C-alpha cells in the first residue's frame, strides 16, 4: 500500500465543508496554486473529481457527499487527540460569541443564560442577532457561532444539530378576554380574530394546516414577524395569538393561555453549529450552558 499523506485529510475536510476552493485555501492559509496542487492530489488519491463545475460554482460529487461527514469526524478527533488535555478554564476565557436566535428566545431564556455565563466565565460577552431567514452561511463563514430554532430541510447538510427541548402551541389572550373564562372549544376559538406569525408576512401560520384538514379556517386580522410581537398585540387587543408554550413562557406573564382545541404540530427546538467548532473547548462549554439553561 502506498504511503498516505494524512495532511490531505485536513485539505479534504476544508474543501468539502466550504464547497469552494478559494474559501478552503483561505481557511487553511494556502495560496491558490498550492490549493490547486493539493486538490489534484486528492482527486488522484480518491479516484474521484470531488467537486465539479455547475454554472459559476462547484458542486460535490456523490463520492464527496459520502466522504464529508466521515472525514470531518476524523479530523475533529485528531484535533481533539493532539490538543492540550484538560487545559480549558472558562474563568480565563475572554471571547465574544454571536448567537442567532429569535427575540422570544432571548426574552425567555436570555436572563438565565447571561447570568450563568457571567458566573462561569465573567469575561465572556454574548451577542444576540435576529433570525431573518434560515440561511446557514453565517455558521459556515464563522460570523455566527451558534443558532437556535427548528431544523428545516433547507439547512446546510454539514451543520450539526442537537435537540434542546420540545414545544407545543397554545392560545394566549389578554386578561378579561372572552376566551379567558370557561373551556375554549373549537367553535369559540374560531369566532375570534387571530394574529398570524410569519417572517415572510403571510396570512397563515403553522396551525392553519391542521385546521384546514378539519375543514376549518381562522380569521386572520394581522400578520407579524415574531411571537414576541404577537403576544404584545394580544395583550392590548381582543386578538388571539397562537404561540409555542415553553418558548414564550416569560412573555405571557399575566395573560390567559389555553390548550388548542384541535391537534397541532409539535415543535423541536434545536441548537445548530458548524462542525469545525465541534472540538473547540470554549464552544463546547457554550453549547452545554445553553442546553442546561433551556432544560430548566
Question: In degrees rounded to 5, what are phi and psi of residue 110?
Answer: -55, -50
Q: Which three cell numbers stand for residue 31?
A: 495560496
The domain defined by 90-167+268-295 carries CATH number 3.40.50.300: no
As a whole number of angstroms, the distance between CA 61 and CA 67 comes to 10
* pTM, to two decimals: 0.64
Torsion from C-alpha of 273, 274, 279, 284, nearest 10 degrees = -10
Q: What is the CA radius of gyration of the chain?
A: 24
pLDDT higher at 156 or 72 = 72
For the chain, what percent of residues have pLDDT higher than 70? Answer: 93
Residue that is written with C-alpha cell 428566545 in the block: 105
Please name every residue paired with 224 in a beta bridge, in sequence order, or none if there are none: 197
Q: Where are the domains of the chain?
A: 7-82, 90-167+268-295, 169-265
pLDDT higher at 121 or 65 = 121
pLDDT in tens, 74-128: 887 777 667 665 578 899 999 999 999 987 888 889 999 999 999 999 999 999 9
As a whole number of angstroms, the distance between CA 14 and CA 141 comes to 12
Question: In degrees rounded to 5, what are phi and psi of residue 103?
Answer: -60, -40
Q: Which stretches of the chain are assigned E, i.e. beta strand? A: 51-54, 57-60, 96-101, 125-130, 146-150, 160-167, 169-173, 193-197, 219-224, 240-244, 256-259, 267-273
With CA atoms as reference, report the closest residue to 7 among 48, 33, 35, 32. 35
The reply to whether 169-265 shares the fold of 90-167+268-295 is yes
For residues 195 and 222, the answer to whether their CB atoms sit within 8 Å is: yes
Q: Does 1 have pLDDT greater than 50? A: no
Domain at 169-265: CATH code: 3.40.190.10
Q: Which three cell numbers stand for residue 196?
A: 398570524
DSSP-derived 3-state class of residue 29? coil
The domain defined by 7-82 carries CATH number 1.10.10.10: yes
State mean pLDDT over 193-204.
Answer: 82
As a whole number of angstroms, the distance between CA 134 and CA 75 comes to 27
Amino acid at each position: 500500500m502506498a504511503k498516505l499523506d494524512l495532511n490531505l485529510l485536513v485539505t479534504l475536510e476544508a474543501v468539502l465543508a466550504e464547497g469552494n476552493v478559494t474559501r478552503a485555501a483561505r481557511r487553511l492559509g494556502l495560496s491558490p496554486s498550492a490549493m490547486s496542487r493539493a486538490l489534484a492530489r486528492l482527486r488522484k488519491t480518491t479516484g474521484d473529481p470531488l467537486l465539479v463545475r455547475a454554472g459559476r460554482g462547484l458542486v460535490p460529487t456523490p463520492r464527496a457527499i459520502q466522504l464529508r461527514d466521515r472525514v470531518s469526524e476524523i479530523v475533529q478527533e485528531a484535533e481533539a487527540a493532539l490538543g492540550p488535555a484538560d487545559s480549558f478554564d472558562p474563568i480565563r476565557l475572554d471571547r465574544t460569541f454571536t448567537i442567532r436566535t429569535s427575540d422570544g428566545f432571548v426574552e425567555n431564556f436570555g436572563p438565565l443564560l447571561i447570568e450563568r455565563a457571567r458566573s462561569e466565565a465573567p469575561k465572556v460577552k454574548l451577542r444576540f442577532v435576529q433570525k431573518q431567514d434560515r440561511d446557514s452561511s453565517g455558521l459556515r463563514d464563522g460570523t455566527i457561532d451558534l443558532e437556535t430554532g427548528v431544523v428545516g430541510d433547507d439547512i446546510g447538510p454539514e451543520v450539526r444539530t442537537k435537540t434542546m427541548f420540545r414545544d407545543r402551541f397554545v392560545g394566549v389572550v389578554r386578561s378579561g378576554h372572552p376566551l379567558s373564562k370557561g373551556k375554549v372549544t373549537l367553535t369559540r376559538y374560531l369566532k375570534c380574530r387571530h394574529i398570524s406569525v410569519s417572517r415572510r408576512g403571510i396570512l397563515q401560520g403553522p396551525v392553519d394546516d391542521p385546521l384546514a384538514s378539519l375543514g376549518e379556517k381562522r380569521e386572520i386580522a394581522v400578520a407579524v414577524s415574531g411571537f414576541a410581537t404577537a403576544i404584545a398585540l394580544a395583550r392590548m387587543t381582543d386578538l388571539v395569538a397562537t404561540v409555542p408554550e415553553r418558548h414564550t413562557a416569560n412573555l405571557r406573564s399575566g395573560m390567559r393561555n389555553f390548550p388548542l382545541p384541535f391537534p397541532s404540530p409539535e415543535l423541536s427546538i434545536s441548537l445548530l453549529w458548524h462542525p469545525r467548532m465541534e472540538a473547540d473547548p470554549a464552544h463546547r462549554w457554550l453549547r452545554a450552558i445553553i442546553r442546561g439553561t433551556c432544560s430548566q
